[in-house]
Amino acid sequence: MRFITWLLTYAAGLSVAAWLLDGISFTGARSGQAELQDKVVPVLLVALILGLVSTFIEPVVKLLSLPFIILTLGFLLLVINALMLMLTARLADAFDIGFTVDGFWTAVVGSLVITVVGWGVRTALPSRD
């Protein structure tokens, strides 16, 4: 159950980021029922890739850049999150999933959107106490 929640949280964040930002997109139909059918599986696959990147690669990058994170008062975390989103787009392109991120600044804003949406989803869910 935890895995499904984790996957759907990333999928919601990616969907909102793709909806809000012109530079983040999924290939396929642009409206109606066809859009839903064309994009459900790619969104879930990209959410899985982003989750795996965030689980395995991001902690290593954060650990190696910890002195710079402290020096920049945490602003380097925005850059790291954007780079992880760009890496996700590269991996999705390698697997021919159809997810694109156009540029670094789009990735920065997109990572902020994904983080805020993920926080909102986790807050809205009932606690498991």
pLDDT digits (tens, 9 = 90+) for 84-114: 999 999 999 999 999 999 999 999 999 999 9
What token pair was written down for 7? 């996957």
By the 8 A CB rule, do 83 and 42 touch? no
Give the Cα separation of 12 and 63 in Å (integer): 27
Q: What is the domain partition of the chain in residue ranges?
A: 2-124
End-to-end CA distance of the chain: 15
pTM for this one? 0.91
**Predicted confidence (pLDDT) at residue 129 exceeds the cutoff of 60:** no
Give the Cα separation of 34 and 45 in Å (integer): 18
What token pair was written down for 23? 């530079």
